Amino acid sequence: MSIAEKTLKTERIYEGKVINLRVDTVELPDKKYSKREIVEHPGAVGIIGISNEGQVILVRQYRKAVDDFLLEIPAGKMEPKEDPLECARREFKEETGYSASNFHFLSQCYTSPGFSNEKIFLYKAENLFKGIAEPDEDEYIEIVKIGFTKALAKIAKGEIQDCKTIMAILMAKETR
């Protein structure tokens, strides 16, 4: 039976722009001890936008952490106390220029619960209308529109390497 771990000590290692790092010393059920390295994250949203022609709106961007260009759904981190749906509307507009009259909640889940509290809220956006993108000043984003069937094929071929994007496409398929 799994039991919650009592924190005996917290060591704060780093306070950053996006993440913080702390190391907790915890007591295990058998009175042994262990260290838990924990990355604190404010939470994020991801939006699978589907155009009126049935195309999926993706973004391609360089990701320093993996040193590669990834094809992803538009996404971004939440501001303090920001409502996830409001954040989704904001990020979708900023990154792609699109607004949507229909946001449908798909899922909320932890991306890496073994070492981080990052939770991502996923939405499907439909009934799109185009405006002007306003990405953050350190974001360089290319918009890529592909048909839904092609998106599924890209998952099967391993050409989409981002977990939240794979998840959002498969969940959007479930709710079509």
Computed over its alpha carbons, how large is the radius of gyration of the chain? 18
Bridge partners of 108?
121
Q: How far is the CB of 52 from its own copies (least distance, A)?
A: 25
Identify residues 77-106 at the interface with its own copies (CB under 8 A).
77
User: Got the DSSP string for 17-63?
Assistant: SS-EEEEEEEE-TTS-EEEEEEEE---EEEEEEE-TTSEEEEEEEEE
Region near its own copies per CB under 8 A, out of 36-44, 47-55, 96-104, 125-133: 36-44
Q: Using an 8 Å Cβ cutoff, are 165 and 71 in contact?
A: yes
Annotated catalytic residue: which of 134, 137, 159, 174?
137
> Per rule CB under 8 A, is residue 25 in the interface with its own copies?
no
- Applying CB under 8 A, does 155 fall inside the site for its own copies? yes
Please give the residues from 47 up to 66 whose contact with its own copies meets the rule CB under 8 A: 60-66
Piece in contact with its own copies (CB under 8 A), picked from 49-57, 71-79, 90-98, 124-132: 71-79
Among the listed ranges 10-18, 49-57, 83-91, 125-133, the one in contact with its own copies (CB under 8 A) is 10-18
137 included as an active-site residue: yes
CA distance 88 to 49: 11
Q: Which residues pair with 56 in a beta bridge?
A: 50, 146
* Chosen residue from 51, 117, 146, 148 binding its own copies by CB under 8 A: 117
Query: Hey, what are 87's tokens?
Result: 């954040």
- Show which residues are catalytic: 137
